[in-house]
Amino acid sequence: MGEKLVLVTGAARGIGLATTRKFLAEGWRVAMLDTDAGTLKAALETLGVPDDTMMIEADVSVPEQVAAGIQAIENRFGRLDALVNNAGIADFQSIADTDIETWSRIMAVNLTGPFICTKACTPLLLKRGGAVVNIASISGLRASTLRVAYGTSKAGLIHLTKQLAVELGNQGIRVNAVAPGPVDTEMAKKVHSAEIRADYHDVIPLNRYGLEEEIAEAIFFLSCDKASYINGQVLAVDGGFESAGIGLTSLRKE
């Protein structure tokens, strides 16, 4: 029972599932939380390591559901060493088309959710010290069209990361954020047209989308002891997108 344990929210697919696989490969156990019970159960069965994984069906924006999940973790494993706040939703619309219900739901999941989960996990994390990694977005660092709710929620999460790092770092819990750029997830493949992908390629120095596994590597690093003096930071895993200004397309034509 000495293996470390991480809780990954939004673990049924995409970056959350890739992160689960990475932690398992490194010898950790993983509690996988998601609202989509069917997809989560299928992911658990595919992983095929029931002794090292745990399924929690919960909505991160509902404190009572999160609290019940954390209690189940304590009952089964008696410890928690890291939390990855990955659960998130998006709805890309202009401010004119963003109604208050959409705005409120995105804020509830993307910003309030990490607050609820971190608060609920803190007592367990305090037992041995640990780490929290919030999954923000390049949209929280750079404004762009059709992201008035999503981008604002991720910018808020970045500042929440810093607030938590200052308070919890003093108690032995490091808090950092990963801000992915465009990633080749199933969602991106469905909603990014050829034109959108070409536009992204034009402003990413590495000239490609990232992979879910590449984001998972950064998340694991910030969660483990190799990052023991990193606290309150935002790591953009974006192929250089945040750093690029104008002129990259012209440079490539030379």
- DSSP H helices, the chain, are 14-25, 37-47, 63-77, 100-107, 113-126, 148-169, 186-191, 194-203, 212-223, 248-253
Whether residue 54 contacts residue 76, with contact meaning beta carbons closer than 8 Å, is answered with yes
Name the average pLDDT for the chain.
94
The residues assigned a catalytic role are 150
Give 132-170 pLDDT, tens digit per residue: 999 999 999 999 888 999 999 999 999 999 999 999 999
Whether residue 81 contacts residue 6, with contact meaning beta carbons closer than 8 Å, is answered with yes
pTM: 0.94
Give 9-55 pLDDT, tens digit per residue: 999 999 999 999 999 999 999 999 999 999 999 999 999 999 999 99
Give pLDDT, residue 1.
42
Q: What percent of the chain has pLDDT over 70?
A: 95
